[in-house]
Structure 1
């Protein structure tokens, strides 16, 4: 699909920042609708849902306006990916954002180049899943690990994991393969539609491990299989 096939909603109360975001996205060919507050965005969404939402958390006098917007989006049957942009970088805020369905959470001041890359990667992954129509067929066979492919969310012992969309797709390979199975480098790269390069897979695996460690500090279940890939297994198993 071309960028012109996607509509992105930008919710930002600062007019200069909003204009900068809108201009950068439009230069990439995206259709963009923008709003200065939560209520006007929600009124628009009731008539026309975008493919992706980019929102600040503090919207005018609403300190958690972005979070409230995310709750509103959860009321629709169609999952809408969200990228939060915020100066608030506490662990609690990031955790809350992901728990409400955010696929990414970027600190301000943002890098427009990084944002554009993340937007393109995210839309590439979500559109691919829709085209294959298999997001509802995936189910984790690993105890304690749940995945919701239509929301790009994963849960470890009922607690949400802080993962990007690409990292979710990589983790899903372990979840569906099961304990003891080797997930090859090629499979991990293919699962992200080629977004993740072979030489950066280890970095993403480290981030995935760290996401688990935030919930289970002694987590040690993803192991390197030299020359082949990675496997999910107990520490005391060969």
Structure 2
């Protein structure tokens, strides 16, 4: 990065907050850290960050991070959000994305992965060109790396950033190409473990099936990875 970005970190555990601050320390990042929602929300009223990183449970507020995201929405300016949480139910993950999250990382978090995510995210959201049907090999799929949004048959796909990164691998390779397990892991900066790739692929398939219920284009290539196949005639 060739400029400074303002990051707000909201984490109620002092030790975890200190560890994240140390991991993200960089001349390119201006980080303000808070332990509870009210203090963070007051700061938002003064100045908006380029990125919000927040736990969901903040002190006695079980949905403190979600409430902070709702407050952020009132400014009607797109601010990317990364939620960090032990809560990993589909309900919580979907709720987080409905509130504007572009990633939802499980605790205990990998500090190295978080740092890479933050660096790449800020670079991409500031500088990335739009990827559309002219540069994707998949018909009826549109991707926008600038916002990490995707649409299928002109309807939005509900994806995490991790799932978007995996989908982008299929979209930028020719139909039928095998995307290896290693490629999928590398695309997510190591967030995805080898033994959880299938879970993420299942979530990808489900996202497509919500739009086209008969979707069956992502195929497992035993022992190698996955491939995107042409629809059957």
Asked whether the equivalents of residues 59 and 65 of structure 1 are also in contact (C-alpha less than 8 Å), the reply is yes
Aligned to 2:206: 214
Measured after TM superposition, the shift of residue 65 of structure 1 is 1.0
Per-residue CA shift, 1:77-108, capped at 9, x if unaligned? 32111111111111211121122221111111
SS of the residue 2:33 aligns to: strand
Measured after TM superposition, the shift of residue 163 of structure 1 is 2.7
Aligned to 2:159: 162
RMSD over aligned Cα atoms: 3.9
> What is the number of equivalent residue pairs in this alignment?
209
Measured after TM superposition, the shift of residue 72 of structure 1 is 2.0
Q: Residue 12 and residue 128 in structure 1: after superposition, are their counterparts in 2 closer, same or farther (change >3 A)?
A: same
Measured after TM superposition, the shift of residue 148 of structure 1 is 6.8
- Distance in 1 (alpha carbons) for counterparts of 2:199 and 2:142: 18
Residue 79 in structure 1 maps to residue 75 in structure 2: no
Pairing of 1:1-238 with structure 2 (within 5 A): 1-2=1-2, 5-27=4-26, 29-129=28-128, 132=129, 151-154=147-150, 160-164=157-161, 167-168=163-164, 171=167, 196=187, 209-215=201-207, 216=209, 219-222=215-218, 233-234=230-231, 236-237=232-233
Aligned to 2:223: none
Measured after TM superposition, the shift of residue 211 of structure 1 is 2.9
- Distance in 1 (alpha carbons) for counterparts of 2:133 and 2:51: 23
Structure 2 unaligned segments of length 5 or more: list them. 179-185, 189-193, 221-226
Per-residue CA shift, 1:175-210, capped at 9, x if unaligned? 8xxxxx85989xxxxxxxxx849xxxxx9x977743
- Distance in 2 (alpha carbons) for counterparts of 1:149 and 1:29: 21
Q: Residue 125 and residue 159 in structure 1: after superposition, are their counterparts in 2 closer, same or farther (change >3 A)?
A: closer
Measured after TM superposition, the shift of residue 32 of structure 1 is 0.4
Q: Residue 31 and residue 146 in structure 1: after superposition, are their counterparts in 2 closer, same or farther (change >3 A)?
A: same
Measured after TM superposition, the shift of residue 112 of structure 1 is 0.8
Asked whether the equivalents of residues 8 and 51 of structure 1 are also in contact (C-alpha less than 8 Å), the reply is yes
Measured after TM superposition, the shift of residue 153 of structure 1 is 2.9
